[in-house]
Amino acid sequence: MAVNLSDPYLPGAISLFEQLDKHLIVVLRDGRKLIGYLRSIDQFANLVLDEVVERTYIQKYYSEISHGILLIRGENVVLAGELDDTIETGQIKVSIDELHRIEQSMEHANNDAPGGSSSKNDLPLDEPY
CA atoms within 13 A on the CB side of 125: 9
CB of 104 to another protein, least distance (A): 19
* Residue 100, φ and ψ in degrees, nearest 5: -60, -40
Among 2, 66, 87, 116, binds another protein (CB under 8 A): 87
CB of 59 to another protein, least distance (A): 7
Query: Residues in contact with another protein, total (CB under 8 A)?
Result: 46
Q: Per rule CB under 8 A, is residue 101 in the interface with another protein?
A: no
Checking DSSP bridges between strand 33-41 and strand 47-58, what pairing results, if any?
antiparallel
Distance CA 64, CA 46 (A): 23
Distance CA 6, CA 59 (A): 43
CB of 115 to another protein, least distance (A): 22
The residues that touch another protein, with contacts defined as CB under 8 A, are: 1, 8-19, 25, 27, 29, 31, 33, 42-43, 45, 55, 57, 59-60, 62, 74-75, 77-85, 87, 89, 91, 124-129
